[in-house]
Structures are given as structure tokens and as C-alpha cells.
Amino acid sequence: MKASAWARHLALGALLLAGTLGASAATGDQMAYRWRNVVIGGGGFVPGLVFHASEKGLLYVRTDIGGAYRWDASSARWASLTDWIGAADVNLLGIDSLAVDPSDANRIYLAAGTYTADFAPNGAILRSSDRGRTFARSDLPFKLGGNELGRGNGERLAVDPHDGRVLFFGSRGAGLWRSEDRGASWSNVKSFPDAATSAGASAANAWRRQAIGIVFVEFDPANGKSGQPTPTLYAGVSTRETSLFRSTDAGRTWTAVPGQPIGLRPNHMARAGDGTFYLSYGDEPGPDSMHDGAVWKYEPAAQRWTNITPLPRGFFGWGAVAVDPRNPQLVMAATFARYDLGDELFRSRDGGAHWQPVLARSRFDNDGAPWVAAHRPHWIASIAIDPFDSDRVLFVTGYGIWASTNMLGFDQGSTVNWRFEDRGLEETVALDLISPPQGAPLLSALGDLDGFRHDDLDVAPPHFDIPQRYSNGESIDFAAHKPELIVRAGRTRNPAGGVVRAAFSIDGGRSWQAFASEPGEGEGAGSIAIAADAETVVWAPSGSKRVFLTRDFGRHWAAADGLEGGEHVLADRVDASRFYASAARSGKLYVSRDRGAHFAPIGGAFGDAARGAAGPRLYVSPAAAGLLWIAARNRALMRGDADGRITATMASITGVDALGFGKAAPGKTAPTLFVAGRRKGEQGIFRSTDEGASWQRIDDAGHRYGRIDHLVGDPRVFGRLYFGAAGRGIVYGDPVEPPCTATRNSTTTTRCGEKP
């Protein structure tokens, strides 16, 4: 998708289970849970596709913030390989490159690291000898940029086809690196030209200046012999100057390939079975923009370069090129950032001499994800042709993957059939979630895709209805006493920049109406809250110095007194006259007792608890009026009230990333508490059915999901919770119940839903 870069940037660290069922085991104070995705399908940028050439159906993909996946042909769905990554290592969820070992179908390597910014740690190579079921980790002395410019280029990581012990990796700013022990240790190839670390290898007009560096490494398996390093290999640098370099001594020394084009940046290099290479170019690395580009053919034996660009150069680039492994004359290439006319996929049957547009004669099946009908292919940064089935071609987009079923028919004049190949791959970014006590069990506000009403958690629904689909859904809330009344806020795109919008629904999110007017301040949607009786809406757009309220859905607005703007606002779930606000930077807490007209600081020990905390968040309990919780990443969880009293401290919960309330346990009245955070320093997801007196861990080492930023419990299904974070969609979990038993000769009976 055209990622809302800041939404994804701020949601760094999010990993959610996609696709396969997962269950944690019950041991001691750990409760067994089963985890599944709330089905949306795709929803994010998939920068790379890699087939294994020696085993039919073996295919991997990488995502920019949601880890990597392996295709499971037997179930026709994707299996996530990186759900084990925890909050401390959330930066590893952006996969900058992926490689398979051509001589060993069991080995896969991931170059993991999301950002090169100062706040991000160094990257790592994750290496697996069992197809990604388990990984070993090799830390690198530099950062990677799986969610930065050039992430659709590739692949930067390559395994020697003749000697699987040897790998090369092209970094963004630290040059070329080599491993001789299957990725366990790495050394810098000091002989590689300075072009890899020069200013020319950085993007000039990026939202921040980012190093792009070496974007692909390609071996030439035609020379060399098994068991010894391949003599000839190539590496491409993202620069408009001399960019393609070759080694003929297994990577010890490098020289520029003669006759190569200059003036554009290479992004992909594909080798045909006859030894010919095809390269795609753009003036920028993508994916945000390209304004020029080309496709070139290089024949090493003849030392000949030929410009085979399918269309005259225009205000767009070329972002991918691929060759059919079964036919060296069948070549495919894709335009990039052709936003005015839409991107196109081209196909040649004569090595690039002639081309035909493919998408113009295509039929798209989006039955499994109806929301996809509102989107057209863009950010086509990777094309892969199945080495065992030329009818099967896959290409990526900014929102998922398309796969053909009859590509060879296109060559005989047929229409190509494409299906949205994203079962199990979930890459949306949840920015807010609600689970009302009636109606649909879950409604969401999502980065890039607005949001969804899920009546069935296992079926992908269409987008929210009109008035308009927001490019970003950022906040959503329901009226506790009238839960069919829902409000949401988001942003839309227009040529002048983002526009903040708000809408309301009177039928539980089935249909929507725009607010009659908007305050006209702020750069983002911020947070929106609706009173328990639905009579007042309080809205705090981000970037505004004021917070606003309306009692007639936008016909009239007034500024709330006592707030500085930018606070997170919440409504009391019981008392319709109360609203609350919290300021993340200062930690100040506020309460309004007059329907949002005036706010006053919350003092006392409870008000002081948020000051100086890391990421303090205020939560409102549905159990009683004025019952509040304060959570922070470096503090114990506390319960208190708007008068400033602390009524309980959960000392065992030593840090909270997200908190949610669910249905009370059988025989109890207090809501079930769910926490994503730390218990006595141990990271995990925990639940309590006794108001925080005791806690059970409900995730496990195989289901960590990075750092969870948004979590809600289901008020109708005991034990169920929903959570979301950047890159892995929305997950819901249910307890794995013990068997239902009844013993006639004893006074003890185990009931369904109770722990024996």
C-alpha cells in the first residue's frame, strides 16, 4: 500500500499472528490459548518474492514491517515464520532481504532490521535449516532498513549456488559483506568500490535522507563447480553513476561492468537460463516515487547492452523484472509509480524485443477480500515466475500479492485470471479497536485502509461504507449505553495534503454519515470519544492546540476549556457527564464532569503516577463510573479514580504496552483484565480474572507478536481478546478449554470454561 509512513513508523514493533492456528500450552500459571487472525487479507507492502528453484511449490515472501512467510501449498495459505520475535526485538520484523540456498531446500536466510534511524538497533541475519520453523541469529554491526526507501529492491542477500557455506550481503551504508559459515559470522569485503557508501547511494529527495547502498547480489552459476565458491557474481549499487560491478574471483576483487547505462538507479537483476541478464532501473529507489526509468538487457558473452524498455520514458520508473526459468525468452517487467494511468505489467516472448501489456487484459478475483476491489495494483516491486509452472506468475503490490492461473493463455490471446493470494498473510496496522457489547464483535481503525466492521472474524469484510474511505483510520469509539452509535476519525489524501475527517454511525458501523462540519484544525485525526449516552462527542485532532466538543454531530463546535491540545480523550463507560484526557508527553491527567465543556487536572497520588512515566496511557473501566487505570511501559499497573486516589497497585505487572477489559469470568462481576507487557520483568500477554490480584500468562515463546500497542477484550465472550500492532494485522485469542466433566460420587464438578 502507499504506506502512511508515519503511522507505520510510530507503530514500529508490532507483530501479529497471520494465517495458521497457534496454541500456547498450559503450564503452571500459564493458560493455554489458541490464536487466530481476524481475517482481512494482505493490506501491506510485500517487497519481495523468492521461489526455490529445486522444489515445487516452495515460495517465500518478505514484508516491510510484518516479518516473513512461507507458502504452504497443501493448505493454499501463507505461514508466518517470525511470530516468535518479541517486543525487545521488534526492529527485526522489517525484512530487508531474503535468500534461499539453491543447493539445500531447507535453508532460508532473512536480513532483518526495520530502520536505520538513531533510535533503531543494529540488524541481524536470521538463518534457518528447517524452512523457517526455527532460526538462529547473527547480529550485524550496522543497521538495516526493511521499511525504508529501496525496500522493494533486491535481493541484497544471496547464497552461493555452488557452495552453500558462502553468502554475500549488500548493506545500505556499510558496503559488501561475506560469510563463509552459512551466515554465522560476517566480514566486510574491503575491496568493493566506494560507490556503495558514497553520497550517490543515498536518496536525494526522501522524507529523510536514507542510505540505499547495494541493492542486489547475483551469482552466475554457469561457471564454477560444486563444492567451491562460484567465481563470477555481480552486485548493483543504487546510484545514478556507475552502478553494476562484477567479480570473477569469488568476490575478492571487483570491477565495473563496461558499457553499462548511467543516469538511473538499478533495482533488480534477473538471470535467464541462456546467461542473459535483465535489469530494471528508476531515477529513485522507490517505493514512494519514481519519475524516470528503463529496462536493459545485458549479454556477458558478447559484452552487449540493449535498451529494451517497453514504453517511451515518461514520468514513472520500472520497479521489477523477471525471467521464466523454463524459457529464457519470456521476460516480464513492471512500471513503477505511474500514478496517473495506473501501473502496468508487461510481457515479452522474444527477450524484450516486443512487449504486451498484461493487466489491461486481465480479470481479478478478489472474492476472498472484497475490499481489494477499491484498489488497483501499484508498487509492483517484485515479480516471480514459478520455476515448475509457467502459468503461475506472482507480483506484489502495496496491499498484497496477485497470482495468475493461466499466464500462458495470455500469449495465445486469452484474458489472464488473477487471484488475490493472501490467505494467511495479514499486514494491516491497527491504530484503534473496539468491541461493543452488541452488534459486530469487532470494529477497527487501520493505517492505510480506514477500517472494518467484522461480523464474522474469519471472513474479510468490505471497507467501511461511505461517506468516504479514509486513507488512515486513527480513532474509533462507541457509546456505552447506546453501542449502536459509533464515531470514528481519520485522514484522507488530496493533492494539498492530508485532510482530517470524522463520521458517525447509528447502526453499529454498517453505514456512516459525515459530521455536519469539522473544527478545521489539526494535522491528524488524533482521538475521538463519545459519551455513554451518545449526547456529546469530544475530539482532539493531533496537531491542534485545542480540543473540541459537539452535541449535534458537528453542526456546532466549542473548544473544551482546560486542555492544551493533543491529549488522548476518553469517555466514561457509565457516567455520561464524564470525559477524561491524558497528555503523553507531560503525563498530565484530566477529568471533565460537565460533558466535556471544562477539564481539570487529576491530582493526588494517581495523577502523579503518570508524570515521568514512559508512554503513560489512561484507561477507563466499564465496571463503574470514575474507575480508572494508569499504565506505563516502566511502571506498575495502578487503579484509581478521578479524585486522585490510588485504590490498587499491581506490583507484579512491571510495565504495560496495552491494557484491555473483557467479559467477567463465570461467577464473577469484575471485568477480565488483559495486559500486554511485563510481569516481574517477563514480557508476555497476561490475564487476570480477580481484578489484578493474580495473573496468568496466555502467550508463549512461539507466539510473541512483537510489541502490542492496542488491545481490547470481548465483553460478550469470556476469555477472548483482540490485539493489533504494526505489520501483522489483528489477532484474536480464545482460551483452550479443559474437558467438561461431572463426577457423581463427588461434590466437585468441573464445568466448561473453568480450570480443573
Catalytic positions, written as ranges: 64, 448
Sign of the torsion formed by the C-alpha atoms of 121, 127, 130 and 135? negative
The rounded distance, in Å, linking the Cα atoms of 663 and 719 is 7
Check: CB of residue 659 under 8 Å from CB of residue 673. Answer: yes
The rounded distance, in Å, linking the Cα atoms of 747 and 740 is 15
Check: CB of residue 243 under 8 Å from CB of residue 305. Answer: no
**Integer Rg of the chain from CA:** 27
* Partners of residue 475 on adjacent β-strands: 489
The rounded distance, in Å, linking the Cα atoms of 469 and 514 is 11
Q: 3-state DSSP helix/strand/coil percent for the chain, to nearest 5?
A: 5, 40, 55
Burial class (CB in 10 A: 0-12, 13-18, 19+), 693: exposed
The rounded distance, in Å, linking the Cα atoms of 582 and 497 is 28
For residue 601 the three cell numbers come to 487536572
The rounded distance, in Å, linking the Cα atoms of 320 and 332 is 8
The rounded distance, in Å, linking the Cα atoms of 164 and 396 is 28
Residue 61: CB atoms within 10 A of its CB come to 26
For residue 280 the three cell numbers come to 530494471
The rounded distance, in Å, linking the Cα atoms of 337 and 335 is 7
The rounded distance, in Å, linking the Cα atoms of 95 and 697 is 29
- Assign 408 to helix, strand or coil: helix
Q: Which amino acid is at 201?
A: A
Check: CB of residue 297 under 8 Å from CB of residue 352. Answer: yes
Instruction: Dump the DSSP string for 506-564.
Output: SSTTSS-EE-S------SEEEEEEE-TTSS-EEEEEET-S--EEESSTTSS-EEPBT--
Burial class (CB in 10 A: 0-12, 13-18, 19+), 736: middle
Given strand 255-256, what is the order of strands in its sheet? 214-219, 233-237, 244-247, 255-256
For 253, half-sphere exposure in the C-beta direction (CA atoms, 13 angstrom radius) is: 3
Residue 617: CB atoms within 10 A of its CB come to 20
The rounded distance, in Å, linking the Cα atoms of 291 and 280 is 14
Check: CB of residue 16 under 8 Å from CB of residue 725. Answer: yes
Q: How far is CA 720 from CA 428, 431, 682, 717, in A?
A: 21, 19, 22, 6
Q: How far is CA 207 from CA 4, 6, 151, 266, 286, in A?
A: 12, 10, 15, 21, 12
Residues 6+ apart with CB under 8 A from 496: none
- Assign 255 to helix, strand or coil: strand
For residue 151 the three cell numbers come to 525496500
CA 140 to the chain's CA centroid: 23
Kind and range of the H or E element at 605?
helix 604-609
Output the 3-class SS for 343-376.
Answer: CCEEEECCCCCCCEECHHHEEEECCCCHHHHHCC
Q: Cell 481484578 sits at which residue?
A: 691
The rounded distance, in Å, linking the Cα atoms of 648 and 481 is 27
The rounded distance, in Å, linking the Cα atoms of 618 and 220 is 58
